[in-house]
Structure 1
């Protein structure tokens, strides 16, 4: 990936994270806006939007850090575990989903129900399966499991700091930008790589190289 492509991906993802955070804040932090509407205070309302935009930027950076970390971890896992890397990903996926249900449920107290936590894990898994299906359809079937692993395991790991607070509004405010940013990065990576491989200049250079090799023979 060239520097220009990376910078474009970075700022596009940053923008999407900010938009996702602002839209989510209208639903989970509505009190932050209503207090400035009656009476109407344009400056304070603008300040609230800037605040949630900054939060979106922060969550977007977390998402991008996790994405590039995963690219390294995936290559490292392939080199270490080789053919066993896929079973290892399945085991880690199951372990993370179990933790996503068990530990928040234990921290919630004896009166809490396990159903909301199980539904949360199922929704994230279901969303990851849908994104992975799109990824595999646009590339190849071998990309399905790594895509599910990234969308579920990496997203949950990125989500951990807010999960520890057990504050529902902030949990929603972080998970939505994370899912949006992770989805965009995952589905854009192969398009960027494919575009670079199909650049006319590179194709001409490869053709000229082949001609030179043929003449040399």
Structure 2
């Protein structure tokens, strides 16, 4: 992949993540943005755009870190099947982790475990759909690595929002998650097009 394509990948991912985060921020908090006139909306949108752009940079670092990990793991285990099994175990562990450990850390006496289940399950369902699309556009072997990246790596990138009590609020969790999800989805589904590694 040449420099022009790398630059395109960087800026397109940055803008997609930034705009998606800014839009979801406005949608989830309309009173704040539309309650003080045009300048209030403009500066609020720009602030959210900048914060989402920073989050999308984290997503880009996570993606290239995963590509490095993938190469290293395949060289270490000498078996695609073994590495895929390890990835499946890690996916299940992370699913349990973001449900139960968040419940232990933040749940009040009135809350039940089920209140902490729906968001991780929705995230997993979305990641499965993206992984199927990646498989469809490339090959069957791409499904588990794509699912691992979308779910496990995105969750790791999401950790700052998951572990800070002040943002243990559904609105802010979505505001942090949206730029990560859109940026990671874009990176995952565009890379094989840029490199010419299509379906086989």
TM-score > 0.5, shorter chain as reference: yes
Q: Measure how far apart 1:18 and its partner are.
A: 1.3
**Which residues in structure 2 correspond to 1:64-213 (within 5 Å)?**
64-83=60-79, 84-107=82-105, 108-165=107-164, 166-194=168-196
Q: Say if 2:63 and 2:184, in contact at 8 Å, map to a contact too.
A: yes
Q: Distance in 2 between matches of 1:34 and 1:141?
A: 47
Task: Give the C-alpha shift of residue 113 in structure 1.
Answer: 1.6
Deviating more after overlay: 159-168 vs 146-155: 159-168
Aligned to 2:46: 50
TM-score by length of 2: 0.91
The residue number in structure 2 matching 1:22 is: 22
TM-score, reference length from structure 1:
0.84
| Structure 1 residue ranges (4+ consecutive) displaced by more than 6 angstroms after TM superposition | none
Q: Once the two structures are superposed, what CA deviation does each residue of 1:159-197 show, in whole Å capped at 9, x if it has no partner?
A: 0000112132221101111111100000001001108xx
How many residues matched? 191
Flag structure 2 segments of 5+ consecutive residues without an equivalent: none
Instruction: Report Cα offsets for 1:44-77 as digits up to 9, x if no partner.
Output: 2211111011011011101101000000011111
Give ranges in structure 1 of 5+ residues lacking alignment.
196-217
Residue 122 of structure 1 aligns to a residue whose secondary structure is helix
